[in-house]
Chain A
Amino acid sequence: MLEVSNLACSRGDHRLFSGLSFALHPGQIMQVQGENGSGKTSLLRTLCGFLMPDEGDILWNGSSVSELQEEYYAEMLYLGHLNAIKDELSGLENLRISAGMSGIELSEKDAIAALRRMGLKGRELLPTKVLSQGQRRRVALARLLVSDAKLWVLDEPLAALDVAAVALIEELIAEHLARQGMVIFTTHQPLQVAGMEMRTLTLTRAGSGSRGRPA
C-alpha cells in the first residue's frame, strides 16, 4: 500500500503543491489530473525518489520509501516521458536489458512473446531507430507485460499511441488491478478501465496556495 501524507513539493522557488495526502490500496487506480505545469510529473517523480519533497512522507507498506530504497524499487515500475530505449539496439535487446535492470532475467522467448502482444510482430529484431514514435512507445510499454512490480507509476503512458494500443494498455491495467496491483498515472487522453472505480487527484494551480485534493 502506498501512503502519501502532507506532501509538499516545489521547483525552484515555485511551490507546486502542498498538504497533499492520499492512500492507494491494492487493486486501486488513481489518475492525477491538472493543467500543464500543475506538478503532475513532479508528483510522480517524487514518488520515484528522483525529487526530494519539501515536506511530508511517502510510505510503502508502512515504511518510508527513502529508507526502503532498493526494496521499494523492486516493487515499483516507472514509465516516464522518456522511453529509456536505445536507438542502436533492437526491440528485443532493449526489452531484455530494461527488464534486467528492473531485476528480472527475461528469456528471449518471453521477450518476443511480450513484443508480439504489443503488436510489434516482425519488428522484434529491427533497431528501434527505424521504428515510429508509437512503435518505440510500444517497446517501452512492453515492460508492463514482463514486470512483476506491484505499483505502476505511469506518466502519460498513452502519448503517441494509436487506438488499438490504447485499448491494449487499458486491458493490461485491468489485468494488473485484478492481480491486486496498484496504478497511479497521468494522461490527457481518456482512459477507461472496465469495472474499476477510477479515483482522481486534481492538482490545481491557484496562485501561491495551490493544493491537491483527492476526489
Chain B
Amino acid sequence: MKKETMSGLFMLVIRRDLMLAMRRRADVLTTLIFFVMVVSLFPLGVGPEMDMLRKMAPGVLWVAALLSSMLSLGRLFSADHLDGTLEQMMLAPQSLSMLVLGKMVAHWMVSGLPLVLMAPVLGIQFDMSAEALGVLIIGLLLGTPILSMIGGIGAALTLGLRGGGVLLSLLVLPLCIPVLIFGTGAVEAVSTGLSVASHLSLLGALLVLALAFTPWVTAQALRISME
C-alpha cells in the first residue's frame, strides 16, 4: 500500500473540499451574489454623483468582500464537525495544521477567488480607472486569503456554539481591519498619485504572517473545541 506524503494529504484536502463545493453549488453562489448585491446597493442608495462614487469605490468593495467572506466562514469546519470527518482529520498521521491550511486554501478558492474575479466588473459601476482596478485586484488577491485564514481561527473557536455565526463575525472582523486599511489605501494611493508599493507590500507581509501562524493556531483551537 502506498503512503500519503504531507503534500499529498494537503492536496487531498483541497481536492475534497473543492469537490464538495461543486456538489453544493448554491453555497458558493450565495456568497458571490451577496457580494454583488451589497456593492450594487451603494450607487442606488447614494445617488449617481461620479466623484463621490469614485472616492467610495475601494472602501465599498473591500467592506463588501469582508462581509461576504464572513458569510461562508461558518461552514468552514461545521459540516466536518457534524459528520465526524474532523475527528478523522485529527487522527491523520500528518500535522493537523497542514490539513487546516488545505481547508483554508480550498475555502479561499471557493469564496475568495470568485470575489476577486467579480470585483473589476463591479468597479466599473463606480467609474474606477483601469489603473485603480488593477491595484484593487492585486490587493484583493493578497488580502482575501488573509480573511479566509484569520476567519479560520474564529470558525474553529466558535465550532459547535449556538449562534456561533454572529459571534464569529464579532471575533474576526476587528482582526481584519489592517487588511481593510492597506487594501483600500492602495487603491486610494493610485488616485492621489502616490506609490502603491508600500500598501501592497504590507498586505503581502500580512499574508506571509497569516500563512505562518494561522494554521497552527486554528489547529490548536480545533483541538480545544473537540473536547
Contact = CB atoms under 8 A, between A and B. Distances in A.
Interface of A is mostly: loop
A52 B220 CA distance: 13
Contact of A103 (B9, B23, B90, B226): B9
Interface stretch (B68-76, B91-99, B109-117): B91-99
A105 B84 contact: no
Interface residues of A, number: 34
B83 A83 contact: yes
Contact of B94 (A81, A82, A103): A103
B24 interface: yes
A97 interface: yes
A78 B19 contact: no
A14 to B, nearest CB: 14
Contacts of B89: 101
Nearest to A69: B95
B90 A50 contact: yes
B46 interface: no
Interface string A79-118: 0111111111100010001101111111000000000000
A89 B8 contact: no
A78 B20 contact: no
A3 interface: no
B7 interface: no
A85 B12 CA distance: 15
Nearest to B3: A103
Contacts of A93: 19
Contacts of B162: none
Contacts of A104: 1-4
A27 B161 CA distance: 41
A105 B8 contact: yes
Q: Is the interface of B mostly helix, strand, loop or mixed?
A: helix
B86 to A, nearest CB: 8
A48 interface: yes
Interface in A136-190: 146, 148
Contact of A89 (B4, B19, B95): B19
Given A102-B93, A105-B2, A86 B226 contact: no
A71 B94 CA distance: 8
Contacts of B226: 50
A98 B83 contact: no
Nearest to B90: A50
A78 B92 CA distance: 11
B83 A84 contact: yes
Nearest to B15: A97
Contact of A105 (B3, B16, B92): B3
Contact of B93 (A48, A50, A74): A74
Interface in B1-43: 1-4, 8-9, 12-13, 16, 19-20, 23-24
Interface in A42-57: 48-52
B95 to A, nearest CB: 7
Interface in B161-179: none
For B24, B84, B89, the residue with the greatest tally of chain A CB atoms inside 10 Å of its CB is B84
Most buried by B among A51, A97, A101: A101
A76 B87 CA distance: 13
Contact of B91 (A48, A81, A89): A48
Contact of B85 (A50, A74, A86, A103): A86
Contacts of B85: 84, 86, 98
Contacts of B3: 103-105
16 contacts: A48-B87, A70-B93, A71-B93, A73-B90, A73-B92, A77-B91, A82-B84, A82-B87, A84-B83, A88-B20, A89-B19, A101-B89, A102-B92, A103-B3, A103-B92, A104-B4
Closest 7 CB pairs of A and B: A82-B84, A74-B93, A84-B84, A88-B23, A105-B2, A103-B93, A100-B12
